[in-house]
Chain A
Amino acid sequence: MTTTGRRRPPSGAVREALTGWGLALPATILVAVFFVLPFVMNLGMSFFDWPTFGTPSFTGIDNYQAVLTDPDFGRAALFTVGYTVGCSVLGVAVSLGLAILVRPKFRGRTAIRTVLFAPFTIGFAPAGLLFLAMSNTRTGVLPAIAISLGLAPHGTDWFADTGSTLVLVIIMTVWKTIGLTMLVLIIGMDSIPEEVYEAAKLDGANGWTTLTRITLPLIMKPLSLVILLTVTTTFLGFDQFFTLTEGGPNNSTVTIVYYLYNAAFVNLDRGYAASVAVVVVAIMAAISIFQVRLQRGKGGAS
């Protein structure tokens, strides 16, 4: 910025730097107060036995040892990974399919896009409660439909079985999140120049070849973003389970963040919960770094 022909007076550079800091200050303060500071405090807290009632005492790495050796935490981590993989694979596949379907111009396109996007605008908690009401074994409309279509036996109760509970939560999550991921992919596809497709057509490429050789490679960046978004939101899943399953049946749907919630707000064991939070952040960071690396690698190759 200082390589312009005319030399700027030093005060100009200073002013520019000050302006930059001034503009960034509100965001910096927010990040510092609501992100950095709590994280540092949380980190400190994780080395204490910190009961909700009573006095904290320093215990070193005891909390971390307890977290990493607790079989319930292992179960929660394993379940969370399974849920994340299920949601991500299904979510990405369906949103890609929908994006391809609703991208071309046709009558009513905007209406259909709006309908598909609408669920994204409600929160996970209301979405969970909605599905809970719709799936209630006695009063819900979904089991009633399934039973009358002969798809489920009379008196079926989806929340009694881990498999059907999980399927229900995954469907709800995908339904709820698909609007945004679909939109991101459509924007990515819209940015591919029309000429590329025309050239492919001239070369005699069929629909499948066009998709795998042209569309997919050219939307790799938005696609990676979608995967990153899906993985992180589902990995930190809590609201959907809190409202829909309460961790049941038989504690089989307790996610890592649910485990964290229990430690902090049910067992009121703040120090332990703080150490769980640190472990969760570490796992999250590892996943994000891995994904960004992968994305960069892919970007360089193409």
Chain B
Amino acid sequence: MKRNKGVVLTAAGLTLTGALALSACGGGGASETSAADIEATDDGATLSLWVRPGNEAVTDQIVEAYNDSHENTVEITHVPADQYVTKYAQSAQSGSLPDILAADLVFMPQIVDNGTALDLTDLLEESGAAGNLAPAHVQAASADGRIYGVPYVTDTSLYLYNKTLLEQAGLDPEAPPTTWDGVADAAEKITALGDDYYGAYISGNAPGSLAYSFTPMIWAQGQSVVTEDGGFDLDNEATQNALQFMQDLYENGDIPTSSKTDGGDGFFSVFASGKIGFNFSGGNGVNTSTLGTDPQFDFGLAPIPGPEDGQWATFSGGDAVAISTQSENKNQAWDFVAWLTSTETSNDVYLSLPALPPRTDVEIPAELGDQFTVPAELVRDGQTYVTTNYNETIASAQGPWVEMFQSVVFDGADPAEATKKAQAAADEITK
């Protein structure tokens, strides 16, 4: 028991040491190099890059493609997603950040706010990438009209639907529903197909996944969730409507009860069983391999709708990269970022993987199929959360976001009361 106590105290002590280092070096340690002096340099330097695990199929392959064609070498380190912010904070304070920071784009506001990302605006204007990059990534990495980060991995939320089941239920598999009522009607018919069939699915206990697959139902009504000053707007009619829609689906028996405890492990695998009609999830080249097994059914992709026809929205997620202000190889790091955001790389490297490209001005070959052409179209209108309070409010398993969703959808709470409660908790965090 002593050991355990020691661990707690040591952990607290270590954070203190990190924080002391902050006050010692006066916060940050940004060097004087301004973007104007930066010139892409490929001279055999070694660049460190941090990224969260999970997207290796893209992140590592892209780095490999760069290393194969350049003198510089990018060394990639996978930092576990739930340790990323902590590790970043400690390294930022002790001046030991990597040259290139790749992070889940929802953490970009934190990195930008902390002043550790290099202003890339002029460089991107010059290279022609500005204005042609996935907008959600740029939005997440921007402050006061300046851009500090670019897209690295791009994906986008949507719903997957089982064409085979739609057909069995007497619905047109090529005309997926475009309204909540449409989804609810179709879901009911699919649930009626048999004992283990369910109309819809969502990973209901995974806070980050819910931000991804549930927020679009709020956005689709024209309601934003994050305010301009980084606070939250949860107590509104649009959020209540979206919660009510999900609650009705669940109470109607169209969502399996196991959704309540799914912390993300069923994100694709439940749908892959072939017994789910609509899966609110995401698509970065969703294919037979992402679905785990070779599904014995046809599936399609469509935007997550709002209540009215024509309303839809999408959370564009993935990873963004920034150049650390602490880097001593800024010229070489820019060489990597310039290459990453070039049209050639999007066309020749990303699309041949294949993966969704960072650039929005390249054409997606039709032979890549719906799982690329549909998301690539959605990315152009992708939205995201731009707030430094994402971690505590949205991503935390004890945060108000997931509690609001759980209490209404699975436990039958009144949406208006739940949004009020969530708003109060979110205000407490952001105050």
Q: Interface of A with B (CB < 8 Å)? A: 34-35, 37-39, 41-42, 44-45, 50, 52-53, 55-56, 136-138, 155, 157, 159-160, 228-229, 232-233, 236, 246-251, 254, 257, 260, 262, 264-268, 270, 273-274, 277, 280-281, 284
Contacts and interface: CB of A to CB of B under 8 A. Distances in A.
B11 A251 contact: no
A52 B257 CA distance: 38
Select the residue from B12, B89, B92, B110 with max chain A CB neighbours within 10 A. Answer: B12
B13 A38 contact: yes
Contact of B391 (A35, A39, A266): A266
A50 B6 contact: no
12 contacts: A42-B9, A53-B110, A155-B256, A236-B8, A249-B406, A250-B406, A262-B398, A266-B392, A267-B391, A270-B16, A277-B12, A281-B8
B263 A160 contact: no
Q: Which of the four size classes fits the interface of chain B?
A: 35 or more
A270 B113 CA distance: 19
A268 B92 CA distance: 14
Contacts of A137: 258, 261
B16 A42 contact: yes
B258 A228 contact: no
Contacts, number: 129
Nearest to B12: A42
Contact of A155 (B17, B110, B257, B266): B257
B418 to A, nearest CB: 12
B398 A251 contact: yes
A34 B113 contact: no
Contacts of B252: none
B14 interface: yes
Interface in B390-418: 391-392, 395-399, 403, 406-407, 410-411
B29 interface: no
B417 to A, nearest CB: 15
Contact of A262 (B4, B16, B396, B407): B396
B308 to A, nearest CB: 33
Contacts of A277: 8-9, 12
Contacts of A52: 19, 85-86, 89
B36 interface: no
B256 A268 contact: no
A194 B156 CA distance: 73
B270 interface: yes
B397 A248 contact: yes
B10 interface: yes
